[in-house]
Amino acid sequence: MIEISAAQLGQRLDNFLFRKFGDVPRTRIYRIIRKGEVRVNKKRCKPEYKLQVGDQVRIPPLRVEAGPRQEPQPSKKLLAQLEQAVLYENAHVVILDKPAGLAVHAGSGIAYGVIDAMRVLYPDSEIELVHRLDRDTSGCLLFARHRQALLAMQTCLRDRSLKKNYCAVVRGTWPQEVTEVRLPLKKYHLPNGERRVRVDADGQAALSRVKVLQAGKQYSLIGVELVTGRTHQIRVHCQAEGHEIAGDDKYGDAEFNREMRKRGVRRLMLHAASLELPQSDYTPEIVINAPLPEQFELLMRGA
């Protein structure tokens, strides 16, 4: 049994276990969480659970196999790509232009994520994700280089002084008068265990502010300020308005996606375009922009 202190406040359960049991394979860590062998306050928890001060974490005996353990490592090519994708850094934070198709965390079927690569690139820091992006979303991703900066940036997200702005290519012509989508969202699971989100009156409040950047008949480019940061928020809000995001294989329109594939779209057309950081002990007041991916530029020329 381990009692969580202020030093671990807000840390993900899986990251806490990775750091405490560095010699145990990550697949084993995920397995004992999934099977309920790890308990927090006598309850099952998911890997992404954020630890709270006073939590009682029960951990089963863990056997370490003899001999050196070879964990999958990010390739030199990927490390070089991510190093070139750093948009901003100081002694406290790093902002990366995350490529589409790269998961932020390791997990079932995923040997390593962006966070694992960043720990290789920044070995002398305690680098952690401040927020996350879906695997298929590109753009600005914020990391903290130490615990104090992590807690401070998470506070900025909660009080909405740190703003996240996105670009998306959506089906049809987004109405100029629709500048806000305020629909509550609720998580649910498919029979195969896959997590999804739907609009539900019993869900969490969610607000997206929208402006049309370029309107077309078949598809449009919109900008979205993510006021609340719910899972899949922009994707589900766009679906609810009848203007699904191009390339969305979870909430998208199948016929629209087929048409987009004919135009060369092979990804979710959602991009974290900028982060607006507030003045703090760890950051200046600054706006960091991630360039619009070339595929967006090419597609919009034909809108």
At CB < 8 A and 24+ separation, what contacts does 52-55 make? 52/4, 52/9, 53/4, 53/5, 53/6, 53/9, 54/3, 54/4, 55/3, 55/4
Residue 303 binned pLDDT confidence (cut-offs 50, 70, 90): low
The one catalytic residue in 14, 97, 134, 136 is 134
Q: How many residues does the chain have?
A: 303
If phi > 0 it is left, if psi is from -120 to 50 it is alpha, else beta; for residue 244 that is beta
d(CA 73, CA 173): 44
Active site residue 134: yes
pLDDT at 71: 60
Domains of the chain: 2-58 (3.10.290.10), 76-156 (3.30.2350.10), 161-301 (3.30.2350.10)
d(CA 89, CA 69): 32
Q: What is the average pLDDT score of the chain?
A: 91
d(CA 264, CA 247): 10
Model pLDDT for residues 83-130, shown as the tens digit of each residue: 999 999 999 999 999 999 999 887 656 667 899 899 999 988 889 999
Model pLDDT for residues 175-193, shown as the tens digit of each residue: 999 999 999 999 998 888 7
pTM (predicted TM-score): 0.79
Strands 180-182 and 163-171: unpaired
Select the more confidently predicted residue: 234 or 2: 234
pLDDT at 198: 97
Select the more confidently predicted residue: 123 or 169: 169
